[in-house]
């Protein structure tokens, strides 16, 4: 299903955004995100299809854990949470996320980085909160057939195998680009996921598309030839 998510989206991206123009705020990033994922609308953690901001829960066998209303809507999830991006910065200490979003240009760029942004079922987004990822012993049964596990006591989440490699490569990218500190334990986990789950075609296609908007790709996924973006765009006008 993930491979189908990005088939045909390159043309849509070029038609809607053209030249690279990285969003400056989280609000701008979300607007671009809706266009980016519009044609093949599949959310990240469970693989459910959606239309507009409404999730087709039956498409992936999702059963709400607690909040059915939130489960039915799409929210935009930071793979590396905003708390992780911001809490290490002085702006967060002096006023939290809203203060960083107003006054810290590095935080603004990181919060709006499309490489770190994916559509998610709202309930899963809320349950995951700012928890880190990890291996968990529990079987995935909290959300019906959705293979996502959230351990609230351990404050950890275990994603489905298909997206573990992308999560690892996103953490490495965000750490390098914005100077985020990763613990030794996290680096060991993400190194293991990076090796065990190498980039697949769908992830490389996504990296190319997002790179055409941002102006650069995630080097842990692969290079992005920006000349290809402009050439294809001009041919499709």
Nearest to 192 by CA among 133, 116, 149: 133
The residues facing 118 across adjacent strands are: 77
What is the pLDDT, as a whole number, of residue 184? 97
CB-based contacts of 99, cutoff 8 Å, min separation 6: 91, 92
Distance from CA of residue 113 to its chain's centroid?
Answer: 9
Return the sign of the alpha-carbon dihedral for residues 195, 212, 79, 109.
positive
List C-alpha distances in Å: 30 to 16, 37, 207: 14, 11, 17
Distance CA 193, CA 168 (A): 6
- Residues belonging to the chain: 237
Q: Which residue has the tokens 């994916």?
A: 118
Q: 10 φ, ψ to 5°?
A: -60, -45
Q: What is the pLDDT along the chain (237 residues), one digit of tens a residue?
A: 554 444 444 444 443 444 458 999 999 999 999 999 887 789 999 999 999 999 999 999 999 999 999 999 999 999 999 999 999 899 999 999 999 999 999 999 999 999 999 999 999 999 999 999 999 999 999 999 999 999 999 999 999 999 999 999 999 999 999 999 999 999 999 999 999 999 999 999 999 999 999 999 999 999 999 999 974 443 333
The residues facing 149 across adjacent strands are: 158
Query: What are the DSSP E strand ranges found in 152-223?
Result: 156-158
Nearest to 122 by CA among 208, 32, 43: 43
* Pair of tokens at residue 196: 């065990």
CB-based contacts of 235, cutoff 8 Å, min separation 6: none
Contact (CB, 8 A) for 194 and 211: no
pTM of the model: 0.89
Contact (CB, 8 A) for 209 and 163: no
Distance CA 115, CA 13 (A): 14
Query: What are the DSSP E strand ranges found in the chain?
Result: 49-51, 54-56, 74-78, 117-121, 132-133, 149-151, 156-158
Q: Which residues form the domain of 116?
A: 2-236
Domain count, the chain: 1
What is the pLDDT, as a whole number, of residue 6? 44
What is the pLDDT, as a whole number, of residue 18? 41
What is the pLDDT, as a whole number, of residue 20? 59
């Amino acid at each position: 299903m993930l491979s189908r998510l990005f088939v045909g989206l390159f043309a849509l991206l070029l038609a809607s955004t053209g030249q690279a123009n990285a969003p400056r705020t989280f609000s701008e990033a979300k607007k671009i995100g809706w266009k980016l994922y519009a044609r093949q609308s599949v959310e990240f953690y469970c693989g459910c299809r959606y239309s507009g901001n409404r999730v087709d829960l039956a498409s992936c066998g999702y059963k709400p854990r607690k909040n059915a209303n939130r489960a039915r809507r799409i929210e935009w999830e930071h793979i590396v949470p905003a708390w992780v991006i911001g809490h290490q910065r002085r702006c967060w200490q002096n006023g939290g996320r809203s203060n960083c979003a107003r006054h810290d240009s590095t935080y603004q760029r990181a919060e709006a980085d499309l490489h770190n942004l994916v559509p998610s079922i709202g309930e899963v987004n809320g349950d995951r909160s700012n928890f880190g990822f990890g291996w968990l012993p529990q079987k995935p049964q909290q959300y019906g057939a959705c293979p996502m596990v959230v351990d609230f006591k351990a404050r950890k989440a275990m994603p489905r195998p298909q997206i573990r490699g992308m999560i690892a490569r996103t953490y490495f990218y965000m750490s390098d680009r914005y100077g985020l500190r990763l613990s030794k334990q996290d680096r060991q986990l993400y190194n293991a996921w990076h090796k065990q789950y190498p980039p697949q075609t769908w992830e490389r296609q996504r990296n190319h598309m997002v790179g055409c908007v941002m102006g650069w790709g995630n080097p842990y996924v692969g290079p992005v030839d920006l000349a290809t973006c402009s050439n294809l765009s001009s041919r499709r006008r």
